[in-house]
């Protein structure tokens, strides 16, 4: 992304101008970008081959988050989401984080887990020991099941066996799936291992399937924001007569309020659930845009959030001097090859816009957008509340629906938000007044 992901005023451009700009920045032909976005990218005949009982296509908005910098690299991040303000909020928080150098992210291990269940085991602890001793043989068998993955540098890496009680044991095979999400690869391996595992264990073969609690394929992201970045309108505060020092105190209060919001989520599963929903607003939108399995991601994220036995926030925030520091960790199995990407031009377009080199990069970017979404939500909740921002964005889209163009959108949106009645009818009236030059 040679020119970076910062594009001031992007939201004010016409849709055509936004497409043009993103095509240029991503080094794509405008025609290719337009083609991939036409009618959601998927035609009915293709959709009919993807799932069953097809009647048509269900469209969702495709946008890009701006300002995202992960490990020093700028990215325009495609997001698919129906909820207003999610993309703006992520872009806004990413801009604040950018001032301190952007997000730092890493993928921990990058191994998927396949499970083989064995039931009716006569002597479970002896069976566990026999399977552990047979690990080299089992790994060899697993390796033979996925020759193409092995040729790409991936493959089975380790065997883990646990006694679950009630004469049931489970064998885990850990697999490096490289740039694939890996569900099919891992399921193939688990099925290939099944009969030999049951024979060695001396039990009955049960399920053979991946685990979506892929806690050996985790993403860890941190970010740092100086307090001053959290105060949205410093000029407005100054205009109200605040001195520089007071301004600092205000912004540090915002830092403390966000830390308290984080503590609330750490203390209360009811709040942690909504806190995590705000994180998944960002992550799911990237997961969907890139054609990945959002149900798998959701299942893994929430199971991980509950790993201590108590449902907890996936991201926490602390104060460090005048900085707010955020940290997020979750399991994230994403692919940039195979699956939906084979059939969905818009998902392929999303990957081109991201200019990725690996699935790990995609996971780090998606998690960074999740942390940005969380920051934006907590900042709004800890200060003016969430509704004001939502309402002003809603006012903008109502103004556009009423026919406002270019600069008229902001003027009309400000009028209808000001009178507190955000309807198309009021927007049309306000548009008439704006065009008549009525101050
Ligand atoms: C709304 O989609 C997400 C929030 O509820 C998240 C949160 O409360 O942290 C605003």
Quote the pLDDT of residue 437: 84
Query: Is residue 395 located within the same domain as residue 329?
Result: no
Query: Is residue 304 located within the same domain as residue 412?
Result: no
The pLDDT mean for the chain works out to: 92
Quote the pLDDT of residue 3: 60
Q: What is the CATH number of the domain that holds 90?
A: 3.90.770.10
> In this structure, is residue 4 part of a structural domain?
no
Say yes or no to pLDDT of 243 above 50: no
- What is the tally of structural domains in the chain? 3
> In this structure, is residue 1 part of a structural domain?
no
> In this structure, is residue 57 part of a structural domain?
yes
Say yes or no to pLDDT of 95 above 70: yes
Find the helix packing angle between 359-382 and 269-289, rounded to 10°: 140
- Model confidence at 234, pLDDT cuts 50, 70, 90, reads very low
Quote the pLDDT of residue 74: 97
- Whether 277 is a known active-site residue: answer yes
Quote the pLDDT of residue 134: 98
Query: Is residue 272 located within the same domain as residue 297?
Result: yes
As a whole number, mean pLDDT of residues 31-57 equals 92
- Which uninterrupted H or E stretch holds 227? none
Mind listing the pLDDT tens digit for each residue in 374-418?
999 999 999 877 666 667 778 888 998 899 988 898 899 989 988
> In this structure, is residue 303 part of a structural domain?
yes
Q: What is the CATH number of the domain that holds 432?
A: 1.10.8
Atom number of ligand 1 nearest to Cα 275: 9
> In this structure, is residue 412 part of a structural domain?
yes
Query: Is residue 235 located within the same domain as residue 364?
Result: yes
Active-site residue among 32, 248, 268, 277?
277
Sequence-ordered strand ranges (E) for 190-344: 204-210, 218-226, 315-320, 323-331
β partners of residue 104? 222
Domain boundary pick from 192, 211, 230? 211
Q: What is the CATH number of the domain that holds 134?
A: 3.30.70.420
- Model confidence at 439, pLDDT cuts 50, 70, 90, reads low
**Ligand 1 centre and the CA of 307: distance in Å?**
22
Burial of 232: CB neighbours in 10 Å, binned 0-12, 13-18, 19+: middle
Task: State pTM to two decimals.
Answer: 0.88
Query: Is residue 104 located within the same domain as residue 173?
Result: no
> In this structure, is residue 5 part of a structural domain?
no
> In this structure, is residue 368 part of a structural domain?
yes
Domain boundary pick from 365, 383, 401? 383
Whether the CB-CB separation of 182 and 175 falls below 8 Å is answered with yes
Q: Among 68-77, 129-138, 199-208, 240-249, where is mean pLDDT lowest?
A: 240-249
Quote the pLDDT of residue 340: 86
Query: Is residue 177 located within the same domain as residue 77?
Result: no
Query: Is residue 347 located within the same domain as residue 255?
Result: yes
Domain boundary pick from 164, 191, 211? 211
Q: Give me the DSSP letters along 153-218.
A: T-EEEEEEEEEEETTEEEEEEEEE-TTS--HHHHHHHHHHHHHHHHHHHTSEEEEEEE-S--TTSE
Query: Is residue 25 located within the same domain as residue 47?
Result: yes
Angle at 260 between CA 254 and CA 261, to 5 degrees: 90
Query: Is residue 238 located within the same domain as residue 358?
Result: yes
Angle at 247 between CA 244 and CA 252, to 5 degrees: 130
Nearest alpha carbon, ligand 1 atom 9? 275
Query: Is residue 233 located within the same domain as residue 87?
Result: yes
- Whether 344 is a known active-site residue: answer no
**171-193 per-residue burial string, b: 16 or more CB within 10 A, e: under 16:** bbbbbbbbbbbbbebbebbbebb
**Ligand 1 centre and the CA of 40: distance in Å?**
27
Query: Is residue 420 located within the same domain as residue 342?
Result: no
Quote the CA–CA distance of 425 and 174 in Å, as a whole number: 59
Q: Which domain covers residue 120, as residue numbers?
A: 112-211
> In this structure, is residue 2 part of a structural domain?
no
> Higher-confidence residue: 243 or 56?
56
Share of the chain above pLDDT 70, in %: 94
């Amino acid at each position: 992304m040679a020119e970076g992901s910062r594009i001031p005023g992007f939201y004010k451009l016409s849709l055509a101008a936004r497409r043009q700009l993103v095509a240029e920045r991503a080094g794509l032909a405008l025609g290719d970008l337009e083609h991939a976005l036409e009618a959601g990218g998927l035609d009915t005949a293709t959709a009919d081959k993807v799932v069953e009982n097809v009647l048509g296509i269900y469209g969702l908005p495709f946008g890009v988050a701006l300002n995202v910098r992960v490990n020093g690299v700028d990215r325009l991040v495609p997001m698919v989401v129906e909820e207003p303000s999610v993309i703006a909020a992520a872009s806004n928080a990413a801009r604040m984080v950018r001032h301190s150098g952007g997000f730092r992210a890493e993928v921990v291990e990058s191994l998927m887990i396949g499970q083989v269940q064995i039931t009716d085991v006569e002597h479970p602890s002896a069976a566990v020991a026999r399977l552990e001793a047979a690990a080299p043989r089992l790994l060899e068998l697993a390796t033979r099941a996925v020759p193409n993955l092995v040729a790409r540098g991936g493959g089975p890496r380790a065997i883990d066996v646990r006694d679950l009680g009630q004469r049931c044991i489970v064998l885990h095979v850990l697999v490096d799936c490289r740039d694939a999400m890996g569900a099919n690869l891992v399921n193939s391996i688990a099925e290939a291992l099944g009969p030999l595992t049951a024979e060695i264990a001396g039990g009955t073969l049960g399920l053979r399937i991946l685990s979506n609690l892929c806690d050996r394929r985790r993403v860890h992201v941190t970010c740092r924001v100086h307090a001053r970045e959290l105060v949205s309108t410093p000029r407005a505060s100054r205009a109200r007569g605040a001195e520089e020092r007071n301004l600092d105190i205000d912004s540090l209060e915002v830092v403390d309020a966000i830390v308290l919001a984080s503590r609330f989520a750490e203390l209360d599963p009811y709040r942690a659930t909504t806190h995590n929903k705000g994180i998944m607003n960002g992550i799911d939108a990237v997961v969907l845009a890139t054609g990945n399995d959002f149900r798998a991601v959701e299942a893994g994220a929430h199971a991980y959030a509950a790993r201590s036995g108590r449902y907890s926030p996936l991201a926490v925030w602390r104060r460090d001097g005048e900085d707010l520091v955020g940290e997020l960790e979750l399991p994230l199995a994403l692919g940039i090859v195979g699956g939906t990407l084979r059939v969905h031009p818009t998902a392929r377009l999303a990957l081109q816009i991201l200019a990725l080199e690996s699935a790990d990069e995609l996971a780090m970017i998606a998690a960074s957008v999740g942390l940005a979404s969380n920051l934006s939500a907590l900042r709004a909740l800890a200060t003016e509340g969430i509704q004001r921002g939502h309402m002003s964005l809603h006012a903008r889209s109502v103004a556009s629906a009423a026919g406002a163009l270019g600069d008229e959108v902001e003027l009309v949106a400000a009028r209808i938000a000001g009178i507190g009645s955000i309807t198309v009818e009021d927007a049309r009236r306000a548009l008439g007044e704006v065009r008549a030059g009525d101050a």
